Structure 1
Amino acid sequence: MKQFFLTIAGVFAGLMLFFVVLPILLIVSVAASASSDTGVPARSVLEIDLRQGLTDQAPTNPFAALGGGGLSVLNIVETLDQAEDDDRIKAVLIRLPEMGMSPAAADELRQAVDRFEASGKPIVAHSQGLYPIGASVSTYMLGASAGELWMSSTAQLGATGLSIDEFFLGRAFDRYGVQPEFEQRYEFKNAVNTFTQSDYTEAHRQAQTAWMSSIYNASIAAAAVGREMEAPALRAALESGPHSAEEARQLGLIDQIGEAEAVEASLLERAGDNAEILEFHDYASVVGERAGSGSDAIAIVGGEGAIVTGRTSADPFGGGSMIASDDTAEAIYDAIEDDAVKAIVFRVSSPGGSPEASEQILTAVRAAKAANKPVVVSMGDYAASGGYWISAEASAIVAQPSTLTGSIGVFGGKFVFDEALARFGVDMRHIAVGGPYADAFSVDQPFTDAQRQAFSGNMDAIYAQFLTRVSTGRDMTRDQVHEVARGRVWTGAQARRLGLVDEIGGLFEAVARAKQLAGIDADADVRFKRFPKPQSAFEALSEVFGVSGEAAQALVAIGAVTRDPDAQAVLSRIRTERARAGGASVLADQPLG
């Protein structure tokens, strides 16, 4: 009976796809073609609105961009690169977010702004205010890099420093009878402190203050260059705020006061007769991804989000990203097998995750190097903990000065709820068969001494493996690695001084290093190949309509009628998520996520 209902569900899914969703896709496709046919006005002012949110990399599912929502750092960087040489693009306007943005993203965009400005075209930033929340100083740094920085007349400039808030649940857990049982390696692996403490430990406070100071000082220094001021003077002016727009102008912190429409009018006038505002999404859809040219290719392998085992199994209409080990390793192996690919740039933006998944990806990196294809890691917002594990043995590592990296450590454990539930009249019991470790992760009892000893040994073993990976990849002794490890988070600038990073920069610098390591002349043109390849619409829809074999077969059958070759791949792309209870995690704090 169950199989019967699954089959009916599959047929229903196929019919929905054929009669409802497929026409929608065709309409969207026609609309996109019409947009492409319209082209780009001969005189355009390209407008980039950062207020709608920002990811590091563009999603691979085909529905994420519907409705024009969301931007990615890499898409902006590569599209601005194309706009530099596009005679139709006469100027660029950047709309800044009011809240703080990721420091590493701001750094990468600042570098792209500097390259665009060197082309001689005007690039202007506009702000409707900067609140003293999070990393607003990074947003100001980006705005300061533009040729002009405008601010609305009623706005305030409140980029007075860098701050974060953290919750500590130790007292609450004590009050309600929840017992956190965790192991961490070592004192700087602060992810568990949220559950076990009521305040910063000395090690936690020390590490947090150090990386925050590094990011703040780097942001001030970069903003000072953009504003053509001495860093101490700029810092004093910002910290004396918040300032009204007029006060900020008098202090030299901004250039002009006016609403966004006034900036648009100014740029349109500079662009010439009949100039038009061109939305970033429209321009990006016309020019497409940066393809490059030449006989040799550089592979760009993307990875953003938590690192998990298996394959991606996410709602293609929803948000969220992950680095699925099977998918990411397969992407690297595909790049290895491509004869045109001479080197791989592995873009990593991850706070970590599963050590097993991290090791699977690192094995693929080793395979690429063994095939004489150098791998250069380009770090985004984070490449910490498991994110550093998968990076450690790369041929070279490039990071932004404000990338959060390191966090070489491990933690794991469980919560015990028996006392908490008993207070509400709920009794939890369990039955286990097998060895004494079989019920180690039961949540109705603490670890026994033997279980604690075994689990602690597992934590030690994973930490030792992590040290070995870093020691091998960075040509350091295990003692040297342990000294800078112990779970501590570093910024890219700090990590470079410690030998954990080779170079400061973004994707462009990583590509340049990859060409160098592959023996390609620095001025030679190269093509860019991206892995993993984006999902087809049929592949994505198969995940929405069901995961049964019968449903997949129905979709394939309907797809065969439409003669769409993508539909034939559906059956092989049915995903299953594998979640591990308890165990170890190489995961870092995400204080500025």
Structure 2
Amino acid sequence: MKQFLLTMAGVFVGLMLFFFVAMVSFFGFIASIASSSSKDITPAHAVLELDLRQGLSDQDPQNAFAIFSGGSQSVMTIIQVLRAAETDNKVEAIFVRLPEGGVAPAAADELRLAFQHFKKSGKPIWAHSQGLYPSGAVVSTYMLGASADQLWMQPDSSFQAVGMASEDMFFKRFFDKYGVRADYEQRYEYKNAVNPYLYSDYTAAHRESELSWMGSIYRTAVLTASADRKQNPQTFLATLEAGPYSAEEARAKGLIDQVGQVKDAEDALIAKVGGDAKLADFDDYAGGAKARMGSGSGPVIAVIGAEGAIMTGKGGGGSPFGGEQTVWSDDVAKAIYEAAEDKDVKAIVFRVSSPGGSDTASEQILAAVRAAKKAGKPVVVSMGTYAASGGYWISSQASAIVSQPTTLTGSIGVFGGKFALGEALGKFGVDVRGVSVGSDYAGAFGTGDEFTPKQRAAFSAWMDRIYGGFVARVAEGRKLPQARVREIAKGRVWTGVQAQQLGLVDQIGGFYDAVDRAKALAGVKGEVRLKMIGGAKSPFEALGRLFGGTETSMKTLAAAAWVMGDPRSQAILDQMAQSRLRDRGATVLAPTPIRQGR
């Protein structure tokens, strides 16, 4: 036993030494990246190549280690860097590589506005596609390409931007076969995130809601693309839906401008702006451009971001090397309070791209929004891909809400429940037993059995309270009668253009439209300085949080395992964070049908 303990101690010390050396090397590498990315290495005459094929997040990752997970670019960085490039004499043009699948519609809308603004500088922006395939909202990808001065496609590639489709898997018959009981309640019929567990097909409300927002997104993309291509909308729609086409056919029908390889398009653009121009990577340029942003004088508009599922607590509890974005309520609320107390800050632009999550976390953030307004700082919400359910909760009492036409928002509702697995596990010889003291409700979320009638009544009343509170906050923030909010709520998802018609959104536009709205509300004229508050932590702070507090040993060993190449460690850390949201019982979370294509 003594030898065993000595051996284990040696292994542990060895792991810690290895981990320490690896981290020293790692942070040295991080420092070298940070140093090089802040230098201006742009050629004297540059065509910036913006490659959108690796996916898009709405905002920069909060995770300081995201560079090692093959992370995507962010819409917010791209649009800000494009603004900087407009006035940079070194930048002659932009060359965009389009993904083959669908860009999230609101992301496409935001980027299109940035492209249009860039073109006003007199500099060209061209796009190239190696094919458009029916994956996600591919019509939005096409719309983005159509906004460029020229849209090229690779020879013999496929143009299949002919519509939108969505597919869901329903598990009811599978659950019935194996004895799984999905014991959920919804407020109300359009709150369909758990419908796949409860039914074997779309309900009438579910189908109505899906077709409504999909139709709205499709109409927006088609009308916008036809306007940019200067074609009659009806003729354009008929041509589009008569596909699919080859690249050559698409050109003959006026859907694109040129057919050629990537190199052909690059050479043609370089020849247009001057033969001495050189291609430069957009990300390399962005590093230097971002280092120059936010400097200068003038009134300050604070910019605070919130992307991902909304959860209580502080960031740093999940995997350091990947995973989804999360809106941590402590972090976002702290950033809003900090902006409210900053004497230089005249207004706040709150960028929200979230399908929701925890009701209590959402309320914590909304309380900070109210406090900022009380301190005399207007808060303008700029909506990204989603601002639904809890994402709308945190937006509902802002001074103004600016949404893209295809943002998915609303979903004012709540669902909750559990899976009862007792019967299913019993078939494999596993018996679930439980004991409890106190109220019968103490054991309500046990996995063995469905709710008892008494438990269900208590749970149902709790969900009614959450729903009623949600409706009340929206009614107060949007200055609508509660009866009207209940009519348009019921968990239904709306697009931004639909939400504006219903009074849930004030203005259709992008991030810089929200900045202009914030300036107007604050009485600020002229140029302003945008100040990012909150957001990504430094690697050192992220590491400190990772190993701080409870569960230190588990996180240390998991991180060490990652360094040694064990992929299971990332899953462990991701599950630690996600389980907090799944186990809440009642959730203000919207379905997330929009996926980023590649």
% identical equivalent positions? 52
- Equivalent of residue 61 in structure 1, options 50, 60, 63: 63
CA contact (8 A) 1:10 1:550 kept: no
Aligned to 2:504: 500
Pair 34,398 (structure 1): closer, same or farther in 2 beyond 3 Å: closer
Aligned with 2:395: secondary structure?
A: coil
After TM superposition, give the deviation of residue 486 of structure 1 in Å: 0.5
2:43 maps to 1:41:
yes
Aligned with 1:294: secondary structure?
A: coil
After TM superposition, give the deviation of residue 515 of structure 1 in Å: 0.5
2:251 maps to 1:244:
no
Distance (whole Å) between structure 2 residues aligned to residue 340 and residue 286 of structure 1: 25
Distance (whole Å) between structure 1 residues aligned to residue 208 and residue 338 of structure 2: 43
Cα deviations across residues 432-484 of structure 1 (Å, max 9, x unaligned)?
Answer: 11111111111111111111111000111100000000000000000010011
Distance (whole Å) between structure 1 residues aligned to residue 9 and residue 74 of structure 2: 39
Aligned to 1:295: 298
Aligned to 1:579: 580
Pair 151,525 (structure 1): closer, same or farther in 2 beyond 3 Å: same
Cα deviations across residues 491-545 of structure 1 (Å, max 9, x unaligned)?
Answer: 0000000000000011100000000111101xx1111111215312212223556
2:306 maps to 1:310:
no
After TM superposition, give the deviation of residue 32 of structure 1 in Å: 4.7
Distance (whole Å) between structure 1 residues aligned to residue 41 and residue 77 of structure 2: 19
2:396 maps to 1:411:
no
- Equivalent of residue 278 in structure 2, options 272, 276, 279: 276
After TM superposition, give the deviation of residue 314 of structure 1 in Å: 2.2
Distance (whole Å) between structure 1 residues aligned to residue 117 and residue 547 of structure 2: 45
Residue type matched to 1:489 in 2?
V
Alignment of 1:290-439 (within 5 A): 290-291=293-294, 293-312=296-315, 313-439=317-443
After TM superposition, give the deviation of residue 395 of structure 1 in Å: 0.3
Distance (whole Å) between structure 2 residues aligned to residue 5 and residue 477 of structure 1: 70
Aligned with 2:67: secondary structure?
A: coil
Aligned with 1:438: secondary structure?
A: helix
Cα deviations across residues 274-315 of structure 1 (Å, max 9, x unaligned)?
Answer: 321111110001111631643310110010000001111222
Aligned with 2:381: secondary structure?
A: strand
Alignment of 1:8-157 (within 5 A): 15=17, 19-30=21-32, 32-34=34-36, 36-37=38-39, 39-66=41-68, 69-157=71-159
CA contact (8 A) 1:57 1:72 kept: yes
Aligned with 2:377: secondary structure?
A: coil
Distance (whole Å) between structure 2 residues aligned to residue 32 and residue 364 of structure 1: 32
Structure 1: runs of 5 or more not aligned: 555-574
CA contact (8 A) 1:354 1:586 kept: yes
After TM superposition, give the deviation of residue 548 of structure 1 in Å: 5.5
After TM superposition, give the deviation of residue 413 of structure 1 in Å: 0.3
Distance (whole Å) between structure 2 residues aligned to residue 246 and residue 37 of structure 1: 42
Aligned with 1:288: secondary structure?
A: helix
Aligned with 1:590: secondary structure?
A: coil
Aligned to 1:566: none
Pair 193,414 (structure 1): closer, same or farther in 2 beyond 3 Å: same
After TM superposition, give the deviation of residue 250 of structure 1 in Å: 0.5
Distance (whole Å) between structure 2 residues aligned to residue 311 and residue 351 of structure 1: 19
CA contact (8 A) 2:305 2:535 kept: no
Aligned with 2:48: secondary structure?
A: strand
2:452 maps to 1:451:
no
After TM superposition, give the deviation of residue 339 of structure 1 in Å: 1.0
Aligned with 2:385: secondary structure?
A: strand
Aligned to 1:520: 524
Pair 161,390 (structure 1): closer, same or farther in 2 beyond 3 Å: same
After TM superposition, give the deviation of residue 359 of structure 1 in Å: 0.3
Pair 5,475 (structure 1): closer, same or farther in 2 beyond 3 Å: farther
CA contact (8 A) 2:382 2:510 kept: yes
Pair 298,424 (structure 1): closer, same or farther in 2 beyond 3 Å: same
Pair 421,532 (structure 1): closer, same or farther in 2 beyond 3 Å: same
After TM superposition, give the deviation of residue 317 of structure 1 in Å: 1.5
Deviates more, 1:57-66 or 1:123-132: 57-66
Pair 64,210 (structure 1): closer, same or farther in 2 beyond 3 Å: same
Distance (whole Å) between structure 2 residues aligned to residue 219 and residue 197 of structure 1: 32
Aligned to 1:221: 223
Distance (whole Å) between structure 2 residues aligned to residue 317 and residue 351 of structure 1: 23
Distance (whole Å) between structure 2 residues aligned to residue 429 and residue 222 of structure 1: 59
CA contact (8 A) 1:132 1:158 kept: yes
CA contact (8 A) 2:349 2:381 kept: yes
After TM superposition, give the deviation of residue 133 of structure 1 in Å: 2.4
Aligned with 1:535: secondary structure?
A: coil
CA contact (8 A) 1:311 1:576 kept: no
Pair 469,281 (structure 1): closer, same or farther in 2 beyond 3 Å: same
Distance (whole Å) between structure 2 residues aligned to residue 478 and residue 26 of structure 1: 56
Aligned with 2:209: secondary structure?
A: helix
Structure 2: runs of 5 or more not aligned: 1-5, 557-575
Aligned to 1:567: none
Pair 245,492 (structure 1): closer, same or farther in 2 beyond 3 Å: same
Cα deviations across residues 399-438 of structure 1 (Å, max 9, x unaligned)?
Answer: 0000000000000001111111111222111111111111
Distance (whole Å) between structure 1 residues aligned to residue 7 and residue 372 of structure 2: 46
Aligned to 2:568: none
Alignment RMSD: 2.5
CA contact (8 A) 1:92 1:123 kept: yes
- Equivalent of residue 166 in structure 1, options 158, 165, 168: 168
After TM superposition, give the deviation of residue 357 of structure 1 in Å: 0.4
Pair 69,441 (structure 1): closer, same or farther in 2 beyond 3 Å: closer
Aligned with 2:53: secondary structure?
A: helix
Cα deviations across residues 520-575 of structure 1 (Å, max 9, x unaligned)?
Answer: 01xx11111112153122122235567569889x9xxxxxxxxxxxxxxxxxxxx9
Aligned with 1:163: secondary structure?
A: coil
Distance (whole Å) between structure 2 residues aligned to residue 204 and residue 422 of structure 1: 33
Aligned with 1:319: secondary structure?
A: coil
Aligned to 1:186: 188
Distance (whole Å) between structure 1 residues aligned to residue 71 and residue 370 of structure 2: 37
After TM superposition, give the deviation of residue 222 of structure 1 in Å: 0.5
Aligned to 1:557: none
Deviates more, 1:575-584 or 1:385-394: 575-584
Distance (whole Å) between structure 2 residues aligned to residue 438 and residue 544 of structure 1: 32
Count how many residue pairs are aligned between Structure 1 and Structure 2. Answer: 568
After TM superposition, give the deviation of residue 195 of structure 1 in Å: 0.5
Distance (whole Å) between structure 1 residues aligned to residue 305 and residue 8 of structure 2: 35
Aligned to 2:495: 491
Aligned to 1:481: 485
Pair 288,502 (structure 1): closer, same or farther in 2 beyond 3 Å: same
Q: TM-score, normalised by structure 2?
A: 0.91
- Equivalent of residue 253 in structure 1, options 245, 249, 255: 255
Pair 134,545 (structure 1): closer, same or farther in 2 beyond 3 Å: same
Residue type matched to 2:107 in 1?
A
Aligned to 1:207: 209
CA contact (8 A) 2:408 2:496 kept: yes
Aligned with 1:339: secondary structure?
A: coil
Pair 35,400 (structure 1): closer, same or farther in 2 beyond 3 Å: closer
